[in-house]
Structure 1
Amino acid sequence: MNLRRETKHRDGLSGTTRRRPGMAIAAGLALTMVAGGLAQMGIGLAASNNSAAAGAGRGERRVDLARPKFSDPTSITNPLFPISELEQVIQLGQEGGDPLRIEVTLLPRTKTIKWNGQRVETLVSQFIAYLDGRVLETAVDYFAQADDGSVWYFGEKVNNYENGVIANHEGTWLAGKDGPPGMIMPADPKVGDIYRPENIPGFVFEEVTVKAVDQTVDGPRGPVEGAIRVEELLMDGTTEDKIFAPGYGEFLARAEDELVTVALAVPIDALSGPLSAELGALWKGAVEIFDATPARDWDAISGTLDSMIAAWDAYQVGDYTPELLDEQMTSALDELTSAVEMQRPVRARYAAVEVGIASADFQLRYRAFHKVDFDRIELYSRRLLVDNAGNRMGDVAGDVAVIETIWDRIARTVGGKA
């Protein structure tokens, strides 16, 4: 599952501008892109269709030049890109020193895309990224598995946000309409394999080189074996390091000013049994503090906060907590504690929402994701009230966008809430 957007080459995101590679890099990259584009059409560039692409080093080889066939494309069984087996993934990290949060959800629908005389049915995945708690980007992505077990990327529909409103749709593309699909995961990746998830020269481009296989990474429930490490070259000449892990897909992405890692995925990290009383107390306390702050009864609010901290301490002792979720909850409670101690009602309400979000992520281990999403909608609706009261119209617009995005992934489950 594509958990990390390639935003480094897009204008208008988080105040950054498009980076321009040096002339030598740009020239070499252009030659590589042209060679790849011709190869996709079956045309070699002073080489046969089975030759390594221009720019590939010794031992490196393009593995995405054969034309894929799709007999059962929505059955995606590739363990390093198991999109059909993942309901929802939460990824946490930072970008430029600000908290970065990503949610990826498999949608309950497919999309048929016409390409190369075929009608290929694809799975549809929804992506939303938040920077410092505010919406940065939303997208839907289209994936299909070829008969040889490789997974192919058929495009994406992107909304890039600035100050809560859509700034542009840069990065949007669709196979068949704009160019070919791109391989996003080989069937059996090996060191030196090269493939291009996006390969429309001058429009979208990503080239991946496998650097290591049979790696072990620390997952939410413990060590995960069989991971691969890759380097991804972007259209602006910059690179990112990524790790893909069995059962999770894209597990980690690292760039110069950014690191984001899977914090939790379901159902792989789900637990049996009922929701713990401690997590219930954290959620209940966050809602109570949010509702109580306008009255400024700080003694009562402090008592509720003390109960929440005690519940969190008890939960940490009684159950294994994924590290990134642990850090998120601890940070949210620290911020709420500071706001309550300083008797800052608006700040306390925002902090209570963040505790609620952290609690909802933990609840994802015990409850169906669509039920947790209903609670998330409640949280963002509460935050919308605070933003509106403060005349933060850009943030209000962003809250609405988030609510609509979450609603899109659960609308078909209405009536099934418990």
Structure 2
Amino acid sequence: MTRSRVLVGGAALAILFGAYNVTVVNDRSRFPLTTTAAEASGERDAGLPRGSELVRLDPADFTTRIDNPYFPIRPGDRRVYRVIDSEGLRQRNLATVTHETKVVANGIEARVVHTVVTERGKRTEDNRAWYSQDGEGNVWYLGEEAREFENGEVTTTKGSWEAGVDGAQPGVIMPAGPTVGLAYRQEYAKGIAEDRAKVFSLRERVEVPFQRFRRRVLLTKETSPLDERGFLDYKFYAKGVGLVLGVEVSGGSDREELVSFRRGRG
């Protein structure tokens, strides 16, 4: 997944989380900046792919009707996020679930989510990501077309990939039955996109401009072996809404918070 980052030193996690009323924000031991051996030994995969593992998926088992409670996307959904970096620079991310679908190279039909990133009113990124849900309720991430802009011109398409092309493999963006310790890959295109995630908690609370979520917020820990700076991101997902907050705590210090959410009619 493409993301904007600002390089800083070790982030003060309690400060980053404290502004958002997250449960136990002052206990740094709950949100480590690295993965310990004990933590790794407790990971479970529940049959979900990890690393570069090959998967064979049956297109007949998939649907573009995505109703996973932690990642519901309905055509017409419109989510606006505000991203603030360590220097106070703000971005606006508008994510729209389109009525479009795409059959990716591995044969699966996917829903297209269009995200436009702007800074000071100027477009800096324009991405189209592809998602589909299997019969068990896992939401799979099947690739994206990523474009970055400067002065209105495309400067790079770095981060683009498609499952089934040049060895790229699909990943899971949200498991059907998340449990603490569940680990899985989110994407795999060697040297391009290798994000991984692990379920960290199912009992968080969080407050963002859109709304206060008082219980049962899912928290995941995301890493990437491609980032030499030691990228580490914590993301919070609320039932019926999806991603509500993302905080980088290593390799950057961006905060992405949900400002508004308008549900589509399908």
Fold match by TM threshold 0.5: yes
The AA in structure 1 aligned to 2:263 is P
**What TM-score comes out, normalization by structure 1 length?**
0.49
1:226 positional shift? 2.4
Q: RMSD between aligned alpha carbons?
A: 2.6
8 A Cα contact 2:95 2:115, kept in partner: yes
Equivalent-residue separation in structure 2 for 1:184 and 1:86 (angstroms):
20
Equivalent-residue separation in structure 2 for 1:260 and 1:130 (angstroms):
13
Which residue pairs with 2:147 in the alignment? 159
Alignment partner of 1:201 is 2:190: yes
1:230 positional shift? 1.1
User: In the TM superposition, what whole-angstrom CA distance separates every residue of 1:196-221 from its partner, at most 9, and x where no partner exists?
Assistant: 11122322110111111132333524
* Greater radius of gyration (CA): 1
Name the CA shift for 1:240/1:221 in 2 (closer, same or farther; >3 Å). closer
Name the CA shift for 1:257/1:134 in 2 (closer, same or farther; >3 Å). farther
Choose 101-110 or 212-221, whichever is displaced more: 212-221
The SS at the match of 2:180 is: coil
Name the CA shift for 1:86/1:57 in 2 (closer, same or farther; >3 Å). farther
The SS at the match of 1:75 is: coil
After TM superposition, the structure 1 = structure 2 runs for residues 93-104 of structure 1, keeping only pairs within 5 Å, are 93-95=83-85, 96-104=87-95
Match of 2:99 among 71, 96, 108: 108
The AA in structure 1 aligned to 2:259 is A
By relative contact order (CA 8 Å, sep 6+), the higher-ranking structure is 2
8 A Cα contact 2:66 2:133, kept in partner: yes
Equivalent-residue separation in structure 2 for 1:67 and 1:55 (angstroms):
31
Match of 1:252 among 221, 245, 249: 245
Structure number with the higher helix fraction is 1
User: In the TM superposition, what whole-angstrom CA distance separates every residue of 1:341-362 from its partner, at most 9, and x where no partner exists?
Assistant: xxxxxxxxxxxxxxxxxxxxxx
Which residue pairs with 2:65 in the alignment? 75
The AA in structure 2 aligned to 1:90 is V
8 A Cα contact 1:86 1:248, kept in partner: no
Equivalent-residue separation in structure 1 for 2:260 and 2:214 (angstroms):
13
Q: Identity of aligned pairs, percent?
A: 27
User: In the TM superposition, what whole-angstrom CA distance separates every residue of 1:276-324 from its partner, at most 9, and x where no partner exists?
Assistant: xxxxxxxxxxxxxxxxxxxxxxxxxxxxxxxxxxxxxxxxxxxxxxxxx
Which residue pairs with 2:21 in the alignment? none
Equivalent-residue separation in structure 1 for 2:206 and 2:80 (angstroms):
17
Alignment partner of 1:177 is 2:177: no
The SS at the match of 1:82 is: coil
Which residue pairs with 1:189 in the alignment? 178
User: In the TM superposition, what whole-angstrom CA distance separates every residue of 1:65-112 from its partner, at most 9, and x where no partner exists?
Assistant: 375444242111101110126610011131241111100001121111
Structure number with the higher strand fraction is 2
Match of 1:6 among 3, 6, 11: 3
The SS at the match of 1:108 is: strand
Which residue pairs with 1:123 in the alignment? 111
Which residue pairs with 1:137 in the alignment? 125
After TM superposition, the structure 1 = structure 2 runs for residues 8-407 of structure 1, keeping only pairs within 5 Å, are 8=5, 57-63=40-46, 64-65=48-49, 67-70=56-59, 71-84=61-74, 87-95=77-85, 96-115=87-106, 119-178=107-166, 179-218=168-207, 220-223=210-213, 225-234=215-224, 235-236=226-227, 237-255=230-248, 256-267=252-263
1:58 positional shift? 2.2
Equivalent-residue separation in structure 2 for 1:133 and 1:173 (angstroms):
27
Equivalent-residue separation in structure 2 for 1:56 and 1:177 (angstroms):
33
8 A Cα contact 1:69 1:147, kept in partner: no
The SS at the match of 1:61 is: coil
The SS at the match of 1:57 is: helix
Equivalent-residue separation in structure 1 for 2:83 and 2:3 (angstroms):
15
1:5 positional shift? 3.9
8 A Cα contact 1:229 1:241, kept in partner: yes
8 A Cα contact 2:138 2:175, kept in partner: yes
The SS at the match of 1:257 is: coil
For structure 2, the 5+ residue unaligned runs are 9-36, 50-54
1:7 positional shift? 3.7
The AA in structure 2 aligned to 1:257 is S
Equivalent-residue separation in structure 1 for 2:102 and 2:108 (angstroms):
8
The AA in structure 2 aligned to 1:91 is Y
Which residue pairs with 2:23 in the alignment? none
Name the CA shift for 1:239/1:126 in 2 (closer, same or farther; >3 Å). same
Name the CA shift for 1:189/1:112 in 2 (closer, same or farther; >3 Å). same
The AA in structure 2 aligned to 1:253 is G
Equivalent-residue separation in structure 1 for 2:123 and 2:114 (angstroms):
14
Equivalent-residue separation in structure 1 for 2:236 and 2:76 (angstroms):
17
Which residue pairs with 2:26 in the alignment? none
